[in-house]
Chain A
């Protein structure tokens, strides 16, 4: 029984990371109706940047904040320069560009930083008080960070005017423009936030799986699964979905299919959800009007 609880706890810790990344995916989807396939690789790249800063002598938190802010700016810039010009382009072209970005980030990371596994420090020291027999301090810390991000975003979107206008711009760009809302800026903001969240997710994952260019591909798949299960247009759903996937992945991986097939579990989950309930558990069922 204790191992079961432990597995659930570990699952929650990975789930926290998936939840963060899923949230980033949902935010971009809500704003643009596109899925950012490159989200994982961008997060991985940010983490490498952080690593470089730490290697250069910067303290962890300094590197952390610089990376997060840098990722925000870079993501916003990508939206402006590459994605925005395609807003009238067909779906396939946009997907192709996202894939192009994925490939570029993946490859450049390997080229600039090398492909060997590297250690990445955790801000939560091994002897911290909040660790225990169930979970390491890092795992507890990860869940805590994930929940903080969720809470902050929730407060931002529900209770600030900027959050309100961002939601409006995503939902109905035409009406928003007529109200004087600058939709383009809202899009950049959305991408920037997604990039920043991705960077945090990467920095939470790296201490566990070690840093290398392939670090985030699996995580991205799990995040997809989480976002879809929760409802691809629902931020709360993304969080719930992410945690759920983390727990399921761990439980099924430990007790049912073994670690080799864990990603397959994600695939089955994704396809399963999409067949049975495409709107996800908490998503809105959209009626397609003729």
Chain B
């Protein structure tokens, strides 16, 4: 399998404050990789650094064989990396459908766009019900679904998901992750998932990385991580 994403010695800072102190990360094609850690570990910063969004980055980020760490956020998005940011980032005063259309604004093929829209509504029937509704009036779970669907409308090869479970009730989270499992199988999109909820993340992911104060302290296949004592104590509450 060709390596989709290879990150070596990534540093990231906000202004003068360095938050990531040289991390290494790999995502293979078709994989789901999860990045775990507590609040403030630097998980969101990692995703932002990959997209060169609101942070300064240093080190090497290779995506599909190309170095991208110097590129602009917009260029990176155009290369097929879809970023669902923390807080969802929905366009609150626009309708659900407008949000989705924004996800594929660069695509010219109308028929393909229409097909993809239908597919999103198939994955997320609740969005279909509310397609004309203002996005700001949706519930937290629905907004999360919208954010994911919007990113998928861009036909990404790599999906960056920032804490999808944040602020959502457990049942809703289960729902969303079930849909993501389905998406993963049908869409063949690789996913880099940042999560605080380690249990549900490890259920979905193939491999996991553990981030603590800006450094990767452990990584390996999900199974191994789930059975690891340190991980269990700190993040699985066992």
Contacts and interface: CB of A to CB of B under 8 A. Distances in A.
- Given a CB threshold of 8 Å, the question of whether A touches B is answered with yes
Interface of A: 161, 164-165, 167-168, 171-172, 174-182, 284
A179 B89 CA distance: 11
Interface in B63-122: 73-75, 77-78, 83, 85, 89-94, 98, 101-103, 105-106
A173 B163 CA distance: 21
Contacts of A167: 94
B83 A164 contact: no
A179 B103 contact: yes
A164 B106 CA distance: 12
A180 B78 contact: yes
Contacts of A172: 89, 91-92
Contacts of B85: 174-175, 178
Given A161-B105, A164-B105, A165-B105, A179 B93 contact: no
Contact of A161 (B51, B54, B73, B101): B101
A181 B105 contact: yes
Given A178-B89, A179-B102, 5 more contacts: A172-B89, A172-B91, A177-B73, A179-B150, A180-B75
A161 B108 CA distance: 10
Interface of B: 51, 53-54, 73-75, 77-78, 83, 85, 89-94, 98, 101-103, 105-106, 150, 154
Interchain residue pairs A-B with the least CB separation, the first 3? A180-B77, A175-B89, A177-B73
B154 A168 contact: no
A171 B78 CA distance: 21
Contact of B74 (A168, A171, A177, A284): A177
A178 B102 contact: no
Nearest to B103: A179
A180 B102 CA distance: 10
Nearest to B83: A178
A179 B54 contact: no
A164 B91 CA distance: 11
A178 B77 contact: yes
Contacts of A177: 53, 73-74, 77
B224 to A, nearest CB: 33
B73 A168 contact: no
B53 A178 contact: yes
A168 B83 CA distance: 16
Nearest to A178: B83
Contacts of B154: 179-180
A180 B106 contact: yes
A101 to B, nearest CB: 28
B102 A165 contact: yes
B74 A182 contact: yes
A174 B106 CA distance: 17
A284 B94 CA distance: 13
B76 to A, nearest CB: 8
A212 B171 CA distance: 68
Contacts of B102: 164-165, 168, 176, 179, 181
Contacts of A178: 51, 53, 73, 77, 83, 85, 89
A180 B104 CA distance: 10
